[in-house]
Amino acid sequence: MLPKYKRILLKLSGESLMGNRNFGLDAHMLEQYATEIKSITDLGVQVAIVIGGGNIYRGMNEAETGIERAQGDYMGMLATVINGMALQAALEKAGVNTRLQSAIKMEQIAEPYIRRKAIRHLEKGRVVIFGAGTGNPYFTTDTAGSLRAVEIDADVILKGTRVDGIYTADPEKDPTATRFDTLSFAQVISQNLKVMDMTAFTLCQENNLPIIVFDMNTTGNLLNVVSGKKVGTLVS
């Protein structure tokens, strides 16, 4: 089977790694994600990953915590590195070669982010995990995902979530919400649909980078998306 996409950027939320827990990491989810990712690397797909940090630290309300926004954002970046290390360990255990690159220097545990080096790793069949967001406060990991995807010339961003696409409303709250199969960038903006934050979304739009929002927790979905089957919602 020939995959539809040669190089992808997979964007995962930190919360997705919690499984049924309220906080932290669930070993079963890590193992499941590693298996799913291995299924596409076995096809020769080049995989880069950006993962959030919400399961460890969410940018909390400054008024409540007394922690200023920039400081809180840096804390969040460190949380993404912890998640990146955990996913790296799970992937290596599954027999997938990986590299963890960090936008904030921490030589003992991750390579510094160097674009050319990241692309070289991908060409050699290694999964590259990008940690620490963009390295700047005031930017989300969605923006980091879009930025890295554009930098490495990915064919598509795959945004793995708990829901199977983009809906007219939140399907977890509104049972009448209906799912879109395809959307244009303009439709997403005009209908004010929450796909990513605007900075991340605009970056994709300006660079004609398609986004597929899909349910990462359904076994085989990642493989189906990469194979070109109709899964989730395509924004292009």
Q: What is the dihedral of CA 68, 200, 234, 170, to 10 degrees?
A: 30
Does the predicted model carry a pTM greater than 0.85?
yes
The 10s digit of each residue's pLDDT in 5-27 is 999 999 999 999 998 898 999 99
Query: For residue range 126-156, what is the model confidence (pLDDT) as tens digits?
Result: 999 999 999 999 999 999 999 999 999 999 9
End-to-end CA distance of the chain: 24
Task: Note whether residue 109 is domain-resident.
Answer: yes
**Domain range spanning residue 139?**
7-235
Token code pair at residue 206: 């300006």
Q: How deeply is 105 buried, as exposed, middle or buried, from its count of CB atoms within 10 A (0-12, 13-18, 19+)?
A: exposed
53, part of any domain:
yes
H/E element, 78: helix 69-93
Q: Is residue 61 part of a domain?
A: yes
User: Would residue 1 count as lying in a domain?
Assistant: no
The answer to whether position 83 is within a domain reads yes
Give the pLDDT confidence of 69-117 residue by residue, as tens digits: 999 999 999 999 999 999 999 999 999 999 999 999 999 999 999 999 9
- Distance, in Å, from the CA atom of 112 to the CA atom of 87, rounded to the nearest integer, reads 18
Tell me whether residue 207 is in a domain: yes
Q: Look up the CATH number of the domain holding residue 216.
A: 3.40.1160.10
Domain count, the chain: 1
Residue 2 lies in a domain: no
Token pair for 160 = 């793995």
Unique residue bearing structure tokens 């996409």? 5
Does a structural domain hold residue 201? yes
Find tokens 């660079």 and name the residue: 207
